Amino acid sequence: MITRFLTDVRVKFNPFSPRSKSARIFLSLIPPQARAEGMKIDAKMLPRTSTEPANLELKFKDGKEMKLDLDKMRLPEVMEQVDRHSRQLARKEELLG
Amino acid sequence: MPPRIRLRPRTIVLRVQQQLPHHSHSYASLATATTPSPPIEQTSRFASPVLRFNPAQPPSHKPAEVRKTQLHRQYQSLLKSSPLILLFQHNNVKAIEWMGIRRELAQALKKVDDERTAAGSTDLFGDAIKIQIIQTGIFASALRIVEFYHPVENTSEAPAPAARIPDILPSRDDPRLTHGLSRTAYKAANKKGLQLELDPLLSGPLAVVAFPAVAPEYLKAVLSILFPNPDFKAPTRKTQPSLYEPDVQFGLQKLMLLAARVEGKVFDQAGTRWVGGIAGGIDGLRGQLVAMLQGLGAGITNTLESASRSLYFTVEGRRTMLEEEEKEGNKGEEKKE
């Protein structure tokens, strides 16, 4: 997953829900240096009884915001969505030099 | 296997040889590659029991020499011996950050140890509490066995396993093998329909902190270092300056407390904090219970007494009344006379 264009990651999930797996794995895909390089990561865990769906809010360097409902998505789909925009940004960056 | 020396008096040998023609049959089960079949004269008598594996290493479901089997065994013993386990997710924590986290944790626990020593307590296990990365799949499997497999324990008079299984062939399918790594355990724990409470949590990179006893003081110390919040504040910069090094802080940001397993029950974050907030631990709880019961006892005695007291007053009142009437009656009689 391309993470270098992300500036802000907000995840909210209930760890006891079997559908929150993609949210947890998404967090584990963020590289170790991300926080030191200025990415804001905010993981909020809901109480066990909560039925609120897991969701993910992303901000990219160009200001685009993305909201994903992780409850219904598997991890490859999430990565696909995030990478689609990141690739566009990467191409722009490459063309501008 | 050390060479076996058969010491037999010559007379017995002679007698056995005389009996030979009647009982000359051998056991097919005894003919294995590891142990040659006993000499023909021995088969006529009771064959001495032979254990074909080391009693400390009974045959296991998966090959015993591979790492995952040993980890499985280790996790089972960890789960059985620790009533309180915290489950963390670690997201790409670097080695140097782990080092810092472990150092700070050890320092905080040592402080608790010192406090307890000063208070005169002898139950110190600050050294035994460590954060440990686990292999998630193997841990999940070990947890299934710990939860769902309860072999019937023999009574204390039962001899050692070696003697209990006298002449067992080294087969994994033998139902007499009941240790945690046996095939029996595997089958029992993998039946359909068995669901662990922790199942949805057991995926991704996990680490555990295991406590040898439910000790809220230690839990509080661990939570205040690894997962601080307003209830469990991290030690200040003055008391523990090394905690605020960037390496440690970046590492701690990547740790997430998922759940706790306290004496077989699963708690979420709030529940874990509640356990950590029990003042004085189990002794504190006992004290509260005793105080409550004493209060209750006093109340009950008051209530019970009050009934008898009122009865006493009624009876006493009636008696005085009767006495007065009697006196008046006596006076009247005296006057008449």
pLDDT at residue B6 tops 90 = no
Q: What is the pLDDT of residue B184?
A: 86
- The minimum CA-CA distance between B228 and chain A, rounded to whole Å, is 14
Mean pLDDT of chain B: 81
Please tell me whether residues B160 and B187 are part of one structural domain.
yes
Please tell me whether residues B215 and B305 are part of one structural domain.
no
Burial class (CB in 10 A: 0-12, 13-18, 19+), B261: buried
pLDDT, tens digit, 9 for 90 and up, residues B257-279: 999 999 888 999 888 888 888 77
Cβ separation B253–A28 shorter than 8 A: no
Q: What is the pLDDT of residue A11?
A: 93
Top-confidence residue, B328 or B145: B145
Does B290 map to a domain? yes
Top-confidence residue, B51 or A37: A37
Residues 6+ away with beta carbon under 8 Å from A70: A11, A13, A19, A20, A22, A23, A26, A53, A54, A55, A56, A78
- Give the whole-angstrom CA distance, residue B96 versus residue B248: 8
pLDDT, tens digit, 9 for 90 and up, residues B191-242: 888 888 888 899 999 999 999 988 888 999 999 999 988 888 888 999 999 9
Task: Inform me whether the C-beta atom of residue A39 falls under 8 Å from chain B C-beta atoms.
Answer: no
Domain boundary among the residues B256, B278, B300 is at B278
Task: Inform me whether the C-beta atom of residue A38 falls under 8 Å from chain B C-beta atoms.
Answer: no
Please tell me whether residues B182 and B307 are part of one structural domain.
no
Please tell me whether residues B210 and B313 are part of one structural domain.
no
Does B233 map to a domain? yes
Does B4 map to a domain? no
Domain at A6-96, CATH homologous superfamily: Glutaredoxin (3.40.30.10)
- The minimum CA-CA distance between B135 and chain A, rounded to whole Å, is 15
Per-residue pLDDT of chain A (97 residues; tens, 9 = 90+): 899 999 999 999 999 998 889 999 999 999 999 988 889 999 999 999 988 999 999 999 999 999 999 888 899 999 999 999 999 999 999 999 7
Q: What is the pLDDT of residue B111?
A: 92
pLDDT at residue B286 tops 90 = no
Q: What is the pLDDT of residue B159?
A: 47
Q: What is the pLDDT of residue A27?
A: 92
Does B56 map to a domain? no
Task: Inform me whether the C-beta atom of residue A40 falls under 8 Å from chain B C-beta atoms.
Answer: no
- Token code pair at residue A71: 């409850």
Cα–Cα distances in angstroms (integers) from residue B60 to residues B78, B160, B179, in the given order = 19, 18, 8
Burial class (CB in 10 A: 0-12, 13-18, 19+), B144: buried
Does B112 map to a domain? yes
The residue type found at A34 is A
pLDDT at residue B164 tops 80 = no
Section B138-157 average pLDDT: 81
Please tell me whether residues B14 and B110 are part of one structural domain.
no
- The minimum CA-CA distance between B247 and chain A, rounded to whole Å, is 10
Please tell me whether residues B37 and B151 are part of one structural domain.
no
pLDDT at residue B55 tops 90 = no
Closest by Cα among B271, B250, B253 to B262: B271
What ipTM is given for this predicted complex?
Answer: 0.91
Please tell me whether residues B120 and B263 are part of one structural domain.
yes
Domain that holds residue B143: 67-278
Question: In chain A, where are the structural domains located?
Answer: 6-96
Does an H or E element contain A87, and which?
helix A75-96
pLDDT at residue B180 tops 80 = yes
Please tell me whether residues B34 and B95 are part of one structural domain.
no
- Give the whole-angstrom CA distance, residue B284 versus residue B270: 20
Q: What is the pLDDT of residue B254?
A: 92
- Which of A40, A42, A48 to probe the B interface (max B CBs under 10 A)? A48
Task: Inform me whether the C-beta atom of residue A52 falls under 8 Å from chain B C-beta atoms.
Answer: no
Please tell me whether residues B195 and B300 are part of one structural domain.
no
- The minimum CA-CA distance between B139 and chain A, rounded to whole Å, is 17
The count of structural domains within chain B is: 3
Please tell me whether residues B185 and B238 are part of one structural domain.
yes
Please tell me whether residues B76 and B145 are part of one structural domain.
yes
Question: Would you give the distance in Å from CA B135 to the centre of its chain?
Answer: 21
Please tell me whether residues B103 and B191 are part of one structural domain.
yes
- Give the whole-angstrom CA distance, residue B28 versus residue A45: 63
- Tell me how crowded residue B293 is: count the other CB atoms within 10 A of its CB: 10
pLDDT band at B187 (very low <50, low <70, confident <90, very high): confident
Section B36-48 average pLDDT: 62
Residues of chain B found within 8 Å of residue A32, distances taken between Cβ atoms:
92-94, 97, 254
